[in-house]
Amino acid sequence: MGAALAYGLQRRGLSTLMLDEGDIAFRAARGNFGLVWVQNKGTDFPPYAQWTWTSAQSWSELDAEMQEITGEDIGYRRPGGVEICLDAEEFASTRAAMQRLQAHAPHVEYEMLDRKALSQVLPGLGPDVAGGCYSPADGHVNPLGLLRSLHQCFKSKGGRIENGERVIAVQRRGSAFSVDTANTRHHGARLVLAAGLGTAELAAMIGLKIPLRPERGQVLVTERLRPFLSLPVSMVRQTTEGSVQLGASKENVGFDEGTQAPVMNRIAARAVRVFPHLARARIVRAWGALRIMTPDTYPIYTQSQQHPGAFAAACHSGVTLAAAHALHLAPAIGDGVLPEALGPMHPERFEHA
C-alpha cells in the first residue's frame, strides 16, 4: 500500500520519500495470494464494493503504465475468476451473497454455474465440486512482481526509498511533520502512514486511532505444472510460470508468521477435492503471512483533523486496491482532500459502533 501510494504521489509530481522498515518487517506484500478480486467484496458495504470495482477497472491502466516504465510483465491477467462451491450449502450462500452485491452493484457481472457448466470452464474438476460463481471482473497478478515494479516506477520518477529505516516517531512541527528513524530525522509537508500492521502504533503518535489486528494466512506452492487452469479460482491459482498457489488460511494467532502441518493439510486437501490431479503435485514451498485486518474487515482511510496533512490508510486487499491507491487516492492526498467516496471508510465508524 505504501509503495502504491508513494508511486502515485511521485507520479503526481510530489517529491516523496518512502521509509521502509525492510526485510525483517511483517510484510503482507511479500506473502499474499495475488488475486485482483471483485466478486464477494463489499457484499454488505456498498462503498467498499464500489472502491474495489474502481480499482479493478483501473488495473489495466496501472499495469500498462508500469510495463512501459520497467519493460516487465508482472503477470497481470483478467480472465475472470471462480469462487468454488464444494456443496449445495456453499452454492446457496455464494449465490445469496452475489444477489446482495448485485442489489447495489449491478455492474458486477456474475454467473452461478452448476457442476456441469463449470466443468466446461475448468476441466479436471473433482466429483465433490457442486458448482461455482464465475465473474469476468476478477483477475490475478504476480504479487512480488507488483511490489518490485511499484518500487522501480517510484524510483524512475525521482522518488527516494530508504530501506531498513524503521520509523520510531512521528510528530507535527509547525506546518510540517518530522519523522524519526534510529539514524535520521526527516521533514515533510505531508505525512502518509501506510505501514501495514505498523500503522496503528505510528498513527497513535499523531492522535489517530487505527484499530488493526493480524490474521495469518498460510500459502502452499507446487512445482511447475503444465498449464491446466486458465483462470484463478478461490484457493487455487496457476502462475504464468506454471507453479500452483494453494491457500490461504484465515487464522487468529497474533503476530505468528509460521506454518503448521495441520493447516497446510487442510489447504492441500481442499485443493485436491477441487482438482484431484493436484494430489500428485509436489509442494515446493509454504509460508505464513499476516493480513492487516480492521474490526469490520473494511479499509480505513483518514486525514487527521487535528493535524491536517497527516493521512493514514490500511486494508486487507492491497493488491486488488493497488490501482485505486496509486491512481486515485494518491492524487487526492496530493490535493489535501480524501475522495468523498472514502468518507464511509473513516475510522470514526468504530467509535460509534
Binding stretches for ligand FAD (CB under 6 A): 1-2, 19-22, 25-29, 31-35, 37, 166-167, 194-196, 198, 202, 217, 219, 248, 289-292, 314-320
Are β-strands 81-85 and 139-140 bridged in parallel, bridged antiparallel, or unpaired? Answer: unpaired
Strand, helix or coil for residue 270? helix
Alpha-carbon torsion (183, 188, 194, 199), positive or negative:
positive
**250/277 with CB nearer ligand FAD:** 250
**105/195 with CB nearer ligand FAD:** 195
Least Å from the CB of residue 315 to ligand FAD: 6
**167/286 with CB nearer ligand FAD:** 167
**82/248 with CB nearer ligand FAD:** 248
**219/278 with CB nearer ligand FAD:** 219
**106/262 with CB nearer ligand FAD:** 262
Least Å from the CB of residue 331 to ligand FAD: 19
Least Å from the CB of residue 319 to ligand FAD: 3
Least Å from the CB of residue 88 to ligand FAD: 27
The rounded distance, in Å, linking the Cα atoms of 189 and 176 is: 5
The count of residues in the chain is 353
**CB distance 290 to 255 below 8 Å:** yes
Least Å from the CB of residue 200 to ligand FAD: 10
Our CA dihedral for 164, 142, 273, 118, rounded to 10 degrees, sits at 150
Angle subtended by helix axes 143-156 and 2-11, to nearest 10: 30
Let me know if 253 is exposed, middle or buried by CB neighbors in 10 A (0-12, 13-18, 19+): middle
**85/289 with CB nearer ligand FAD:** 289
Question: What amino acid is encoded at 39 in this protein?
Answer: Q
Least Å from the CB of residue 116 to ligand FAD: 28
For residue 326, the 8-state DSSP code is I
**CB distance 289 to 28 below 8 Å:** yes
Nearest alpha carbon to residue 72 among 147, 165, 157, 163? 147
Angle subtended by helix axes 143-156 and 46-70, to nearest 10: 70
**21/128 with CB nearer ligand FAD:** 21
Least Å from the CB of residue 120 to ligand FAD: 25
C-alpha cell read off for 34: 495475488
In sequence order, the 6+-apart residues with CB closer than 8 A to the CB of 23 are 163, 164
C-alpha cell read off for 303: 486525514
Least Å from the CB of residue 344 to ligand FAD: 19
**71/262 with CB nearer ligand FAD:** 262
Stated as kind and residue range, the H or E segment containing 197 is none
Least Å from the CB of residue 118 to ligand FAD: 21
